[in-house]
């Protein structure tokens, strides 16, 4: 048994260490990953996941006018062949591993439209569908009545090896919806309103369940949009129980009649089928909040966080307020005399002008909205009316359309609106996470030069779910989340400094002022088109061939040996050091003595700040590493694409150009090496500390690790020698990832902050770890100044303490397997 376990470990090791190889990796459809009924309903056995679905980001090419689906897919394969071969090898070696090929869609949308079962039928035993996924937006499936949530990639790796997920039983917050939304309101407006509201309520680590008569007025696509943005309001899950509308959606998306019959019968028998208009079925909740859908107004969110909602009617004044406000989530600190700065530039032989607020990126992208026929068809109908009124989009604006599945393209074409979208520049450039994760590609050189010359706060508008600093594009300092119709509207306007209620969106060639209200489609118009063109046969046709439609993937040759062969020359896939020096014997927990602070950070430091996924800057530590290995800047690709190389990812840790480090009092991917006072790239500073044998610490504020469930945001700090993070609060998944890597998540006690304790970060810190550990215990911190204070260790369960004693969850799993 022991020899077999060793072999099993060798087979799995590449996936354990390189699970983040694609730009986006989702183990969505890992449904029932912890347990399944095996014949006898009284007997529960742990099994491997039923499905493993890996979705890839599409790298969008350089010029909007040359973008095309085929060109981008060819480019993706040319750049990422090695990664794809690695994944195809995995699909051959591992049972129950299913890969949806690149170019097929975004995994959450594919899950919603195709993979989700809602109820499992396992040899005559019925039980509810469930899943965990390594992307935080796994929660999208909650909109269909499947309980699912995101976990850290590190935790998912352990699940794949049979380790159950442990968690503290969460509170369940009831969110009551009532009232009727205005006919001009979109699901995006609703979700941005909910996001701001629940951030204010505070639901981090809690389940949210939606109930009330307002839910019955929302389509499954609307509910999925709300559930998708669950991470943005901080909850673990955002659940909509199954009702008649859910079953109709399953029918619309091509599920078989017999499947619908047993789903309905089982859920009703189990008391899990909901009538949202029947108050007698409303559950008891820990706490209840509510929203009147009639109060929702058209809105966007930004310029730097998804919870910062702004009514469209206030966009102009809000942006102008942000221009002059102090640097922060709602401020760019631009001097008043520079608010009207304008820079002229040439593009394609014509002269144009950019100013603060000019739109340079407009993207219909992301699983949040492209899964929703109402907003996608709404965008198409708006484009049709815009073309009929003689409107256009300035050619230098980088526009794109990246649907979440081929079904979207199908109904946009069949309904006749795709041609109008293409005329405005919104052509299909691929299927996957694109601009939302930072894969928009470069802007035209003349546009970048104009932005740089004027130090302009240029804007991106996208139908995504995240707009953190530095995530969307390095040259767009203001980024706004908006519905697909509004994305097109702002692209036509060319600026976010516009009041659509009072100012025309544009003036056509006839000199006529056209207002947004002239081209905005009503809900009735949209629904009429949707009823006609979004039909079951469309879904069946797309998904019957989804695993065979990509010829490049089908013809890709990959090895089938059970043990992966490492290539020492590879800059994509590299055997990592996570298990170097691992022994069967456990060492007792050690205190951290005289640690230096590597970074002194503030509130809402996201995983994008910690481990960016976008392009690798030419002057970065990662770029120097790749250059030394003979690569040119064009070949650098992105951090997301190089997640299989720990050397690149360690150098990319804290490499976000918008990282604000209090040591520097400015945004830069740098820090101060405290012993010498030298300002260095973060990786280079960490290397100096490592060579001196000194442990490191990070100080942070509230919501540390918010955003993507990016496992490299924990693996990277581990490789830099960071032993602990001391923060005011953590986002759930990132705290779990830190635990998984053996990095101690420390939390200030209530009322304490770095400011209240007078911490400058220049002290040296000793953290005393006792031999007897208990969940959420307090420990002493002593500074070299003689000051002492207490903090809480955020190991929330006994299982997490076990992982810590082993140096992380992966070490624990390896030792566990070798002992069997």
Q: How confident is the model at residue 68 (pLDDT cuts 50, 70, 90)?
A: low
Among 157-161, 210-214, 325-329, 492-496, the least confident range: 157-161
What confidence tens digit (pLDDT) does each residue in 698-728 have? 999 999 998 777 889 999 999 999 999 999 9
Domains and CATH numbers, the chain: 15-295 (3.30.499.10), 299-540 (3.30.499.10), 592-611+653-819 (3.20.19.10)
Query: Whole-angstrom Cα distance, residue 793 to residue 773?
Result: 10
- The predicted structure's pLDDT at residue 723: 97
The region that residue 293 occupies, defined by phi over 0 for left and psi between -120 and 50 for alpha, beta otherwise, is alpha
How many helical (H) and strand (E) elements, i.e. helices and strands, does the chain have? 28, 31
Q: Are 285 and 279 in contact (CB under 8 A)?
A: no
Q: Cis peptide leading into 303, omega within 30 of 0?
A: yes
pLDDT at residue number 307: 86
What lies within 8 Å, CB to CB, of 498 at 6+ separation is 315, 316, 490, 505
Indicate if the pLDDT at residue 148 is higher than 50.
yes
> Which SS3 state, helix, strand or coil, does residue 337 take?
helix
Mean pLDDT lowest for which of 47-56, 338-347, 639-648, 786-795?
A: 47-56
What pLDDT does 28 receive? 30
Q: Can you tell me the mean pLDDT for 134-162?
A: 86
> pLDDT tens digits, residue range 250-292?
999 999 999 999 999 999 999 999 999 999 999 999 999 999 9
* Band of pLDDT at residue 56, cut at 50, 70 and 90: very low
Q: Is 363 within 8 Å of 400 (Cβ atoms)?
A: yes
- pLDDT of 772 > 70? The answer is yes
pLDDT above 70 (res 7):
no
Please name every residue paired with 52 in a beta bridge, in sequence order, or none if there are none.
Answer: none
Residues 6+ apart with CB under 8 A from 301: 192, 195, 196, 307, 308, 309, 310, 467, 480, 481, 482
Between 487-501, 546-560, 584-598, the lowest mean confidence (pLDDT) is in 546-560
* Both structure tokens of 302: 């930004």
Position 415 pLDDT exceeds 50 = yes
Residue 257 burial (C-beta neighbours within 10 Å; 0-12, 13-18, 19+):
exposed
**Which two structure tokens, joined as six digits, stand for 94?**
């591992």
Can you read off the two tokens belonging to residue 382?
Answer: 């708006």
State the DSSP code for 163: P
Please check the confidence at residue 5 and state whether its pLDDT lies above 80: no
Averaged pLDDT for residues 100-129: 89
- Statement: residue 23 has pLDDT above 70: no
Helices 220-228 + 244-252 axis angle, to 10: 100
Q: What is the DSSP letter of 749?
A: P
Do residues 33 and 160 make contact, with C-beta atoms less than 8 angstroms apart? yes
- For residue 761, what are the CA distances in angstroms to 21, 475, 696? 34, 31, 11
**What is the model's pLDDT at position 220?**
92
Q: What is the rounded average pLDDT for all residues in the chain?
A: 87
Residue range 407-432: average pLDDT?
91
442 falls in which pLDDT band (50, 70, 90)? confident
pLDDT of residue 47 exceeding 80, the answer is: no
Q: Tell me how crowded residue 151 is: count the other CB atoms within 10 A of its CB.
A: 30
Burial status of residue 383 (CB atoms within 10 A of its CB: 0-12, 13-18, 19 or more): buried
Compute φ and ψ for 550, nearest 5 degrees.
-95, 105
Q: What is the model's pTM?
A: 0.81
Where is 766: in which H helix or E strand?
Answer: strand 765-767
Residue 472's nearest CA partner among 400, 369, 405, 422 is 400
E runs forming strands in 674-743? 678-681, 696-699, 722-727
Instruction: Please tell me the predicted confidence (pLDDT) of residue 3.
Output: 40
For residues 289 and 201, the answer to whether their CB atoms sit within 8 Å is yes
Side-by-side strand order, sheet with 478-481:
309-311, 299-301, 478-481, 459-462, 359-364, 398-401
C-alpha torsion sign, points 275, 276, 279, 283? positive
Would you say residue 21 has pLDDT above 70? Answer: no
Better-predicted residue by pLDDT, 173 or 108: 173
Q: What integer is the mean pLDDT of 43-58?
A: 28
pLDDT over 50 at 61, yes or no:
no
Nearest of 427, 510, 315 to residue 68 by alpha carbon = 427
**Which of the residue ranges 147-151, 155-159, 270-274, 368-372 has the most confident prediction, judged by mean pLDDT?**
270-274
3-state secondary structure of 515: coil
Which segment of 67-76, 100-109, 226-235 scores lowest on mean pLDDT? 67-76
Sign of CA dihedral 68, 74, 78, 79: positive
Looking at residue 587, its pLDDT comes to: 87
- Please give the C-alpha separations between residue 41 and each of 36, 44, 667, 765, in angstroms, as whole numbers: 9, 7, 57, 53
12 or 504, higher pLDDT = 504
In this predicted structure, what is the pLDDT of residue 681?
Answer: 97
Q: Which of 415, 426, 410, 405 is nearest to 486 (CA)?
A: 426
pLDDT value of position 438:
67
- What angle do helix axes 373-388 and 523-533 make, rounded to 10 degrees? 110
Integer-rounded Cα Rg, in Å, for the chain is 26
Q: Cα-flanking dihedrals φ and ψ of residue 184, to 5°? A: -100, 0
pLDDT for the residue numbered 365: 85
Asked if the model's pLDDT at residue 17 lies above 60, the reply is no
Residue 65 scores a pLDDT above 70: no
Q: What is the per-residue pLDDT for 548?
A: 81
The pLDDT tens digits for 592-631 are: 999 999 999 999 899 989 998 888 989 999 999 999 999 9
Residue 20's pLDDT is what?
A: 38
| Average pLDDT of the residues in 204-215 | 95
Round to whole Å and give the CA distance between 730 and 747.
8
Residue entry with tokens 């079925």: 281
Kindly state the tokens that stand for 467: 């707009």
């Amino acid at each position: 048994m022991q020899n077999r376990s060793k072999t099993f470990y060798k087979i799995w090791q590449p996936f354990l260490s390189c699970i983040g190889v694609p730009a986006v990796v989702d183990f969505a459809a890992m449904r029932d990953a912890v347990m399944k009924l095996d014949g006898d309903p009284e007997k529960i056995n742990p099994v491997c996941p039923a499905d493993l679905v890996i979705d890839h980001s599409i790298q969008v090419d350089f010029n909007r006018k040359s973008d095309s689906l085929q060109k981008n897919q060819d480019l993706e394969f040319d750049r990422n062949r090695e990664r794809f071969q690695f994944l195809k090898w995995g699909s051959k070696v591992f049972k129950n591993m299913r890969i949806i090929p690149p170019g097929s869609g975004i995994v959450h949308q594919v899950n919603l439209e195709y993979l989700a079962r809602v109820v499992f039928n396992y040899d005559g035993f019925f039980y509810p569908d469930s899943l965990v996924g390594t992307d935080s937006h796994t929660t999208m499936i909650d909109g269909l009545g499947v309980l699912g949530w995101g976990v850290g990639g590190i935790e998912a790796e352990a699940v794949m090896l049979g380790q159950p997920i442990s968690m503290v039983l969460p509170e369940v917050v009831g969110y009551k919806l009532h009232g009727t939304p205005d006919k001009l309101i979109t699901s995006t407006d609703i979700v941005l309103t909910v996001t701001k509201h629940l951030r204010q309520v505070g639901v981090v680590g809690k389940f949210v369940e939606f109930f009330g008569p307002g839910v019955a007025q929302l389509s499954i696509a609307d509910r999925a949009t709300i559930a998708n943005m669950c991470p943005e309001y901080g909850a673990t899950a955002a659940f909509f129980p199954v009702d008649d509308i859910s079953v109709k959606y399953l029918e619309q998306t091509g599920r078989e009649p017999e499947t619908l019959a047993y789903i309905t019968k089982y859920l009703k028998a189990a008391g899990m089928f909901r009538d949202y208009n029947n108050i007698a079925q409303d559950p008891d909740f820990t706490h209840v909040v509510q929203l009147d859908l009639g109060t929702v107004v058209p809105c966007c969110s930004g310029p730097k966080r998804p919870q910062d909602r702004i009514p469209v009617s206030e966009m102009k004044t809000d942006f102008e307020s942000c221009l002059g406000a102090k640097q922060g989530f709602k401020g760019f600190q631009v001097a008043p005399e520079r608010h009207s700065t304008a820079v002229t530039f040439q593009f394609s032989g014509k002269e144009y002008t950019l100013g603060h607020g000019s739109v340079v990126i407009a993207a219909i992208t992301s699983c949040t909205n492209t899964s929703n026929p109402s907003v996608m068809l709404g965008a198409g109908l708006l484009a049709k009316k815009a073309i009929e009124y003689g409107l256009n989009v300035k050619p230098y604006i980088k526009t794109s359309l990246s649907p979440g599945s081929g079904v979207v393209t199908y109904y946009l074409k069949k309904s006749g609106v795709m041609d109008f979208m293409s005329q405005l520049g919104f052509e299909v450039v691929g299927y996957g996470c694109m601009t939302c994760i930072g894969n928009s590609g470069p802007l035209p050189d003349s546009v970048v030069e104009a932005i740089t010359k004027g130090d302009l706060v240029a804007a991106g508008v996208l139908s995504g779910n995240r707009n953190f600093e530095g995530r969307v594009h390095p040259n767009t300092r203001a980024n706004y989340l908006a519905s697909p119709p509004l994305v097109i509207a702002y692209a036509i306007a060319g600026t976010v400094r516009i009041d659509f209620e009072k100012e025309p969106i544009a003036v056509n060639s006839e000199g006529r002022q056209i207002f947004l209200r002239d081209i905005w489609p009503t809900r009735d118009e949209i629904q009429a088109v949707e009823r006609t063109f979004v039909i079951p046969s469309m879904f069946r046709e797309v998904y019957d061939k989804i695993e065979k439609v990509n010829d490049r993937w089908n013809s890709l040759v990959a090895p089938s040996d059970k043990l992966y062969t490492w290539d020492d020359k590879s800059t994509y896939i590299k055997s990592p050091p996570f298990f170097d020096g691992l022994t069967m014997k456990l060492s007792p927990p050690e205190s951290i003595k005289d640690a230096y602070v590597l970074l002194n950070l503030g509130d809402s430091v996201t995983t994008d700040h910690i481990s960016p996924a976008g392009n690798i800057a030419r002057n970065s530590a990662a770029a120097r590493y790749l250059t030394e290995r003979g690569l040119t800047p064009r070949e650098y690709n992105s951090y997301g694409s190089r997640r299989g190389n720990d050397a690149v990812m360690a150098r990319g840790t804290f490499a976000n150009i918008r990282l604000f480090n209090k040591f520097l009092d400015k945004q830069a991917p740098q820090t101060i090496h405290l012993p010498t006072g030298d300002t260095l790239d973060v990786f280079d500073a960490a290397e100096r500390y490592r060579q001196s044998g000194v442990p490191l610490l990070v100080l942070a504020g509230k919501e540390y690790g918010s955003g993507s469930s990016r496992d490299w945001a924990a693996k990277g700090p581990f490789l830099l020698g960071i032993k602990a993070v001391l923060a005011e609060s953590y986002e759930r998944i990132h705290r779990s990832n830190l635990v998984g890597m053996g990095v101690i998540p420390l939390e200030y006690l209530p009322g304490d902050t770095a400011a209240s304790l007078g911490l400058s970060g220049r002290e040296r810190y000793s953290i005393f770890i006792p031999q007897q550990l208990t969940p959420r215990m307090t420990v002493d911190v002593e500074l070299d100044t003689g000051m002492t204070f207490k903090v809480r260790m955020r190991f929330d369960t006994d299982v997490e303490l076990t992982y810590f004693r082993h140096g992380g969850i992966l070490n624990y799993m390896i030792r566990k397997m070798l002992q069997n």
